[in-house]
Structure 1
């Protein structure tokens, strides 16, 4: 497969970031993968690859997360995932790639700026955030940005942010993969690609988790932001 070594290297880097921050895999992998794979293959690969490694992170995340809040987010995302997948299928490939780049860049800009809010989000607000995450995740494979902004821009501790994000992304990955299989959008080669990528991703995710220390929150965020920015710039459609 063209670009396989780039995909392996990118997924390995994304695994380290995911392990110590709880997010970042799609923000790093999707822009690069879009250079070598069509949108449906990118979404299928990123979601299937993440399931095994996410399962390894779940025990700790389950204990530290706000499961009620995450459950509301997931319920809101469920009906919007098929809509996002449908939009992805009818959109031009270059349009999808530009959409990915814009969403990832906007997410990064908001995080780097240090934007924060102090108000507590009520249930209708949480439902809207979950619905938006489902739509964007199905359309681009970027399952995390909406929820990442929701948590990182708030006042929650980094430990809680990491746990809630891991739990939500795990549930959304399963939903997206299920919808892709039901629609017949998953090819055999994509399943094999996900299996190949899952090996380095699992290993590097465990390395990243072993490095996690709440006392080094600023260092984690700086490194994650730098890697996301590099991926977004590298994956811009202007380079092809």
Structure 2
């Protein structure tokens, strides 16, 4: 049980538990936001590859909570196109992460998260129809960014959640795609030898509060209050980004 003991001794473990719990609530009632909240904070305590392992493995917990409803409502053809493109670009993102200084990766995370929140909060999003080629492009960019930083959702949030499809359908598609992307990213990290037993144990521990709070967030979700939920999510993400800046180390 040495690996478990090492996991419990991880720097900032209490902050990691609190952050993933809050992220679970936001993910439950919006369908996104976990990585935008967790990755900037976790980057203060852990190297990029460990942060990415944690965010992808704990994603399994949210999938277990959200998948049944999402599977019924999703357009699985769209999700397949997104996932196919991401499958090809995740390895490039992982290689880029390995070749980049950790502090630089943290600044990239902060920049991407900030642009995402600013874009959706101010309404500067793509509001047109998205064809097959558009889905492939979104999936490809999401795969690269996810492999490099662990932020799997920003491109989907800006270009897909703002599409003209029904809100419930897009939310379901996003949940399924992010779940598939988590599996692809973790597989690449595993093949690259970037995972360790203590980090896997830590992911298991974080998955417990994440699963519970995701269910709570899903219970709180009401379509008529969607704008309120989004404003709360924007505020939480902004706070996480500011607290995770290398400037404040």
For residues 43 and 27 of structure 1, what CA distance do their matches in structure 2 show?
Answer: 12
Shift in Å at residue 183 of structure 1? 1.2
Aligned pair partner of 2:176 in 167, 173, 188: 167
Task: Establish whether residue 23 from structure 1 lines up as the match of residue 32 from structure 2.
Answer: yes
Task: Establish whether residue 178 from structure 1 lines up as the match of residue 200 from structure 2.
Answer: no
Task: Establish whether residue 217 from structure 1 lines up as the match of residue 226 from structure 2.
Answer: yes
Aligned to 2:64: 55
User: Against the structure 1 CA distance between its residues 117 and 89, is the aligned structure 2 distance closer, same or farther, given a 3 Å change threshold?
Assistant: closer
Aligned to 1:46: 55
Question: Where do 1:44-193 residues align within 5 Å?
Answer: 44-193=53-202
Provide the alpha-carbon RMSD of the alignment.
1.0
Contact 2:57 2:182 in 1 (8 A): yes
Shift in Å at residue 155 of structure 1? 2.3
Shift in Å at residue 195 of structure 1? 0.8
Number of residue equivalences? 240
Task: Establish whether residue 202 from structure 1 lines up as the match of residue 211 from structure 2.
Answer: yes
For residues 172 and 142 of structure 1, what CA distance do their matches in structure 2 show?
Answer: 10
For residues 43 and 209 of structure 2, what CA distance do their matches in structure 1 show?
Answer: 20
For residues 126 and 96 of structure 2, what CA distance do their matches in structure 1 show?
Answer: 31
Aligned to 1:229: 238
TM-score normalised per structure 2: 0.94
TM-score normalised per structure 1: 0.97
Contact 1:41 1:190 in 2 (8 A): yes
For residues 102 and 186 of structure 2, what CA distance do their matches in structure 1 show?
Answer: 20
More displaced 10-residue stretch of structure 1: 99-108 or 212-221? 212-221
For residues 197 and 53 of structure 1, what CA distance do their matches in structure 2 show?
Answer: 11
Shift in Å at residue 41 of structure 1? 0.2
